[in-house]
A and B are shown apart, each in its own frame.
Chain A
Amino acid sequence: MNETNAPKTVKARKFDCPSCGSSVTQKLPGKSVAVYCQKCKSLIDTSHEVMKIIDKYQNDPTVSPLIELGTHIQMENQEWEFTGYVERADQTGGSWQEYVFFNPYLGYRYLVRSADHYIWISPVPDYMFSSHDSPISSEDEYTPMVKFRGKQVFKRLTSYKAYVKFVMGELPWLARKNEENYVMEYINPPYVASVEGVQAKSKDEQKRTNDRFIEANWSLGEYKTPEEIQQAFQLKEPLHKPTTIGACEPNRYKGKWKNALLTAILSSFFLTGLCVAVPEENKEIMNSIQRIPISSMDLKKEGATDYLEFQFEAGTIELDKPKNLTISLKGIIDNQWVSINYFLMNENTREGFVFPSEISYYHGVDGGESWSEGSTSAVLRTQVLPAGTYYIIGVGATSYGLTDFKKHKAVLDVLKKGTVKPETLTPSLPSGNLDLTVTIHRDVTSQWPAVLAFFIIWSMSFYYFVRKRAFETARHGWYAMSYQSAGEDEEDEDDE
């Protein structure tokens, strides 16, 4: 009599192949339900006491597995046994291989190899996925995104039908040749969430399922590089590198884009800091406040425009080395304009430079809305001027005080002739003054090298951003093809 009802250690089970009679070993009794006979390549249903033949696979795999069945590998710090191998294809003719791995404590894992891309897949209880904050059901099969554990967002990539083409080893499900599964994939590289829908076969099942899937199995996959697989499989030869974009392959430009963006942001801070942190280089050398009485101005006319002309002496500046300058002009004007030509005379070389500057400020209310135009200040930048002492004269024109001036023109004319004593006329003189401030800075750092640097570093980041986007577009374009042909295929079926 058995000492106990259950065996003490988990052992393999041996039985005769119902097809060819040769001995078949089932390494995972109770776990695997479909076992392959190495001799006659039949797939046997071991879920009942009497073994049944599921299918006969007389062909060979189109791609041989990279390792022998029974090999133990290390993946994600755990040991796994390679127990089964499945070849699948979609309706476009594309095919891929699935390696089935088992660990007695952790259950099954799958490695998908497709066009030299590798994805390590773990089954996940389906309540961990949600869409619109409610659990996923197959009614949501066209949902644009799903959430994992209520947080991680996966975007829909593709959906297709998958067919079993070849089986080797042991499997935890009753795989059948040409068995059709509907697969939907959502990505958040390097992860892929996929759901495999099993269609109801009988009418009774269809009635019970509310729709076409009797089962929907979710899994979570992670992208692996050929190098990682070579290491896990302990292969001597390196594996081929993929030439296409993988379904959940991390975007090759994402890292570069992030780096370029970070570099751009940091260098922008640095450059801005550099421009700000050099006060020596931007020293004020003159600040001249000018109060010009209207009575000292002359009325001039150019075409139909009357204006007042004036001039002032701003003072002298010293340049010890050849330097460039900025000349700022600020005026107290209100619906008026001021135009000035600065004459800079080098007292040492007798060389002269002229720089024009203009300010105009207008505002008002038009149709109930207030508006304003122009500004009361302006800045001009000179070229590099030779060293020396410069004497600065401003010659200007303005509309400031023009009305007032015209009113008193006659008085002024008399005054200018000098025939009448000014005291007797004083109450009638135009009394306003034009107030101007002229400020000169020297050694102004040119912003151009900085602007150029800004442009270069930001265009690097822009370049990688574009490449990153193009990568995703190519990925979605590539996988959308299979999705679209899945749709067409369905229409064909409907036509029949």
Chain B
Amino acid sequence: MRESQCPSCGAPLIFKNAHSLYAVCRYCATFSVQAGDALKEVGKAAVLNEDGSPLQIGAVGYIPGVSGQTETRFEIVGRIQLDFGAGSWNEWYLDVDGQKEGMWLGEANGFYYLMQLVDTKSIKMQYMVLTDEKYKINDGLPGFSEAKLKDTIYLNNEKYYVKDIQQGTVVSGEGELPFEFHGGYDAPVIDCFSSNGKVLTIDYSEKPPMVFAGQVFEFKDLKFNKLRPVYGWSKYTNE
């Protein structure tokens, strides 16, 4: 954890994750970037859409342990809000205990997509294309405009199927983040899944595209607390 000051209003800005370089001031919505020891103002963050999410910055959850391992605590430290034309979509940035790099938690209709940025340099990526009625395996990733639904993408020989191809827009963001965002910017995204429940998101807003891999959880799996109260609803309690 490191503490800084908002270059605009002077309010304290706390970075919980080592990889966070950008932050939105919770008092004046100024968006700033770490430049040397100080913070530099980038601009003002747009207002986020009300989206009814019970998650918020400061909420805490636990990633279930695999095969008897203990669970891992995480805290929500930032988010990017996207719009795919049918409601808002949140990507929450998580500071995970014992892990330098943060993780991302996508939220969709009671399901939670826990994703980690993949180092594409150290991984074998291939995709299958149908050309002249013959299947051919190419290295790398398909271009955004090239990809079709149900195409196959291989990540370290694990087979993924393209499930969604969406052209989203970044609405805004808040809290601390590992990269810069701009409201109103395009976010071309491809979502894939494997038959054993792993998910893959390829974000084409940067070059080369960013690849996120992870898996899906249900609300109760993540044992959230410090959630945002929802009007008219009692606090959710894990049974």
Interface residues of A (CB under 8 A from B): 1-13, 28-33, 47, 77, 79, 81, 103-108, 123, 125-128, 130, 133-135, 137, 139, 172-174, 207-210, 214-215
Contacts and interface: CB of A to CB of B under 8 A. Distances in A.
A209 B149 contact: yes
What secondary structure prevails in chain A residues at the interface with B? loop
Interface of B: 24, 26-29, 45, 47-54, 56-57, 83, 85-88, 109-111, 147-151, 161, 163-165, 172, 174, 193-197, 199, 216, 219, 227-234, 236, 239
Contacts of A5: 24, 26, 29, 45, 47-48, 172, 174
Given A77-B239, A174-B86, A137 B150 contact: yes
A1 B27 contact: yes
B50 A29 contact: yes
What secondary structure prevails in chain B residues at the interface with A? loop
B52 A31 contact: yes
A137 B161 contact: yes
Nearest to A77: B239
Contact of B87 (A8, A30, A105): A30
A30 to B, nearest CB: 3
Given A10-B228, A208-B148, A47 B54 contact: no
27 contacts: A1-B27, A3-B26, A4-B174, A5-B48, A6-B56, A10-B53, A10-B54, A10-B228, A28-B52, A30-B49, A30-B52, A30-B53, A30-B88, A31-B87, A47-B86, A81-B232, A104-B53, A104-B54, A105-B54, A107-B110, A108-B109, A123-B109, A123-B110, A127-B196, A210-B148, A214-B149, A215-B164
Contact of B51 (A30, A79, A125): A30
Contact of B149 (A30, A32, A103, A210): A210
Contacts of B109: 107-108, 123, 172
Given A1-B28, A5-B29, A10-B52, 11 more contacts: A3-B27, A5-B172, A13-B50, A30-B49, A79-B233, A105-B219, A134-B195, A135-B161, A135-B193, A172-B109, A210-B148
A139 B194 CA distance: 17
A165 B50 CA distance: 30
A32 B88 CA distance: 10
B47 A130 contact: no
Contacts of A13: 50
Residue of B88, B149, B165, B229 with most chain A CB atoms under a 10 A cut-off: B149
The 7 A-B residue pairs with the shortest CB-CB distance in the complex, in nearest-first order:
A107-B110, A30-B51, A107-B109, A127-B193, A104-B230, A105-B236, A29-B50
B119 to A, nearest CB: 24
Nearest to A214: B149
Residue of A6, A47, A172 with most chain B CB atoms under a 10 A cut-off: A6
A406 B172 CA distance: 119
Contacts of B45: 5
B24 A12 contact: no
B84 to A, nearest CB: 9
B51 to A, nearest CB: 3
Contacts of B27: 1, 3-4
B86 A208 contact: no
A137 B193 CA distance: 12
Contact of A7 (B50, B149, B165, B236): B50
Contact of B230 (A10, A32, A130, A207): A10
A33 B26 contact: no
Residue of B50, B53, B174, B229 with most chain A CB atoms under a 10 A cut-off: B50
Given A5-B26, A33-B87, A106-B110, A125 B54 contact: no
B219 A106 contact: yes
Contact of B148 (A33, A126, A209): A209
A196 to B, nearest CB: 14
A77 B227 CA distance: 20
A107 B111 contact: yes
A12 B174 CA distance: 21
B195 A130 contact: yes
A31 B51 contact: yes
Contacts of A139: 150
Nearest to A46: B87
Contact of A30 (B50, B174, B232): B50
B26 A125 contact: no
A1 B26 CA distance: 11
A172 B85 CA distance: 12
B174 A6 contact: yes
B54 A127 contact: no
A474 to B, nearest CB: 35
Nearest to B107: A107
Nearest to B110: A107
B50 A11 contact: yes
A34 to B, nearest CB: 9
B48 A6 contact: yes
Contacts of A104: 52-54, 230, 233, 236
A81 B233 CA distance: 10
Nearest to B146: A208
Contacts of A208: 147-149, 165
A11 B83 CA distance: 19
